[in-house]
């Protein structure tokens, strides 16, 4: 379970500069795969080996004066709902403004740990200027130069030290965790209610990460799982909040808690960029995925309607294409049991471990028959393979010249794994290593 650090503050104080600095180190190592679209407002970082998620809340910076205040309150509310820790960033160049006071007031009323951070403190002079911020009535602040990185260490030391200790006992340890994500009004609540006609909510209220997260046990028709639902997900989107950025950011925490993400799409609207963003989040976090096209009762059907609709979605989601897509109606309960069964199947596939002997027995002949193309007259020989003991399937293939194994062959390998072992709806990682 990941801790989430959100950065809030007025435009131009340096939020995205800090955000990029926090992500840089890690993305260089982890996100080296070509074709991974980088979300500019969300990412993973770590400090002294402690991993956390960072959100830059300044996703929508609208620069007209009147919507300004409203926009900032939304960003702060997002941080209060979703984050474990909040970095409130101020700018020493501009000094304190009315907006800063208002943000501070909102944060003060929340129960989240807030780190008041004065940015653009590039030298000793600004260090003195920063004392102005004591006017907020605070006892402590951090000074930072996001541009050079100085001060970051002290800030992160404190944040990481304050992360809630995980003596929290998950009451549903070991049960599949599922979240239903999607745009506002696609039918998430309708589906949830249809599944849980006997409601049994367990509110897990533990300081920090799990606060405001509701886990509901489902146990029917031989299936048992937990629906995960966070404060942000439950917050009914106001019309003005119906912005892509916020509803995507609001699903981060639920997605991170879950094993399987059900992405709900409105059949009358089709697959849009926001669905793509939620899909990207689930994929990046290596979660199992099921796509449900809801409100199918509203669609006028002809011979190929389902097939065409499915093809259109598959075309948009691209290479990772064995994701189950089901057409349902949460309202009439059509095929919702099928949807549950599919989510369970994906859950099982995600945690499936292939025995090393079996893996080698199947894959080595595949490589024998279709070896990687020789490069500069050098032949690549894959010697053996193992599955790693990770929560989602990851495989290591040992060979003589791993640097010569290119993207198309990695995809070929992934497809062969899917073909022989079946990993429906589950992201797979394959690595080639020297041996």
Task: Give me the residues that bind ligand GDP (CB under 6 A), please.
Answer: 9, 11-17, 58, 119-120, 122, 145-147, 182, 184-190, 294-295, 297-298, 329-331
Phi and psi torsions of 166, nearest 5°: -95, 55
Contacts of 30 (CB under 8 A, 6+ apart): 44
Could you tell me which of 71, 127, 62 has the C-alpha nearest to residue 102?
Answer: 71
**Lookup: tokens for 346:** 């994906």
- Count H helices and E strands in the chain, helices first: 14, 16
Assigned token pair, 148: 């050079």
Q: How far is the CB of 163 from ligand GDP (least distance, A)?
A: 24
> What is each CA distance from 242 to 60, 182, 237, 245, 272, in whole angstroms?
12, 12, 6, 9, 14
Residue 403 CB, nearest distance to ligand GDP (Å)? 36
CB 146, min distance to ligand GDP, A: 4
Q: Is residue 429 classed exposed, middle or buried when 0-12, 13-18 and 19+ CB atoms within 10 A define those classes?
A: middle
Nearer to ligand GDP by Cβ, of 119 and 345: the residue is 119
With respect to ligand GDP, which residue has the nearer C-beta, 15 or 177?
15
Question: 54 and 40 in contact (C-beta within 8 Å)?
Answer: no
Q: Please, are residues 416 and 370 in contact by the beta-carbon 8 Å criterion?
A: no
| Residue 16: CB minimum distance to ligand GDP, A | 3
C-beta of 429: minimal distance to ligand GDP in Å?
31
Return the number of the residue (212 or 414) whose C-beta is nearest ligand GDP. Answer: 212
State phi, psi for 176 to the nearest 5 degrees.
-60, 135
Q: What is the smallest separation between the CB atom of 97 and ligand GDP, expressed in angstroms?
A: 13
Instruction: Collect contacts of 197-205 with beta carbons under 8 A, ≥24 apart.
Output: 202/171, 202/172, 204/168, 204/170, 204/171
Spatial distance between the Cα atoms of 345 and 98, rounded to a whole number of angstroms: 53
Q: Nearest to residue 110, comparing CAs of 81, 130, 131, 90?
A: 81
SS3 387: strand
CB of 299 to ligand GDP, least distance (A): 10
Give min distance, CB of 71 to ligand GDP, in A.
Answer: 12
**Which of 298/388 has CB closer to ligand GDP?**
298
User: Which residue matches tokens 């509110």?
Assistant: 203
> What 3-state DSSP class applies to 203?
strand
Decide: 57 and 66 in contact? Cβ < 8 Å: no
The helix, strand and coil proportions of the chain, stated in percent and rounded to the nearest 5, come to 40, 25, 35
8 A C-beta contact, residue 258 and residue 251: no
CB of 147 to ligand GDP, least distance (A): 3
Comparing CB distances to ligand GDP, the nearer of 121 and 346 is 121
In the complex, minimum distance from the CB of residue 375 to ligand GDP, in angstroms, rounded to a whole number: 42
Q: Which is nearer to ligand GDP, 184 or 425 (CB)?
A: 184
**Would you say how long the chain is, in residues?**
435
What tokens appear for 189 in the block? Answer: 């609540």
Nearest approach in angstroms of CB 50 to ligand GDP is: 24
């Amino acid at each position: 379970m990941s801790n989430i650090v959100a950065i809030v503050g007025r435009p131009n104080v340096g939020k995205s500069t800090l955000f990029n600095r926090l992500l840089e180190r890690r993305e260089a190592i982890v996100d080296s795969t070509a074709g991974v679209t980088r979300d500019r407002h969300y990412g993973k970082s770590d400090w002294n080996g402690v991993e956390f998620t960072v959100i830059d809340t300044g996703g929508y910076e609208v620069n007209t004066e009147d919507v300004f205040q409203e926009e900032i309150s939304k960003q702060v509310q997002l941080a209060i709902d979703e984050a474990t820790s909040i970095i409130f960033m101020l700018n020493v160049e501009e000094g304190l403004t009315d907006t800063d006071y208002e943000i501070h007031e909102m944060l003060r009323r929340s129960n989240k740990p807030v780190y008041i951070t004065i940015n653009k403190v590039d030298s000793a002079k600004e260090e003195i200027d920063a004392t102005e911020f004591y006017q907020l009535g605070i006892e402590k602040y951090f000074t930072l130069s996001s541009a050079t990185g100085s001060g970051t260490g002290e800030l992160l030391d404190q944040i990481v030290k304050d992360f809630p200790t995980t003596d929290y006992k998950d009451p549903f340890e070991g049960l599949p965790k599922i979240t239903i994500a999607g745009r506002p009004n696609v039918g998430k609540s309708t589906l949830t209610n249809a599944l849980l006609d006997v409601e049994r909510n367990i509110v897990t209220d533990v300081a920090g990460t799990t606060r405001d997260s509701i886990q509901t046990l489902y146990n029917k028709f031989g299936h048992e799982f937990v629906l995960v639902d966070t404060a942000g997900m439950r917050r009914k989107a106001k019309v003005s909040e119906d912005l892509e950025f916020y509803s995507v950011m609001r699903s981060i925490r639920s997605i991170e808690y879950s094993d399987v993400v059900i992405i709900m799409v409105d059949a009358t609207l089709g697959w849009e960029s926001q669905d793509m963003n939620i899909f990207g989040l689930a994929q990046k976090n290596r979660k199992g995925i099921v796509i449900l096209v809801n409100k199918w009762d509203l669609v006028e059907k002809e011979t190929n309607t389902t097939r065409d609709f499915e093809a259109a979605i598959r075309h948009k989601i691209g290479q990772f294409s064995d994701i189950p897509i089901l057409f349902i109606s949460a309202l009439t309960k059509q095929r919702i049991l099928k949807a549950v069964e599919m989510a369970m199947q994906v859950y099982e596939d995600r945690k499936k471990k292939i025995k090393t002997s079996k893996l080698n027995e199947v894959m080595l002949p595949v490589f024998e028959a279709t070896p990687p193309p020789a490069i500069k007259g050098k032949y690549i020989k894959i010697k053996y393979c193992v599955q790693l003991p990770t929560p989602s399937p990851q495989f290591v293939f040992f060979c003589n010249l791993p640097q010569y194994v290119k993207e198309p062959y990695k995809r070929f390998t992934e497809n062969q794994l899917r073909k022989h072992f079946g990993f429906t709806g589950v992201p797979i990682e394959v690595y080639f290593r020297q041996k």
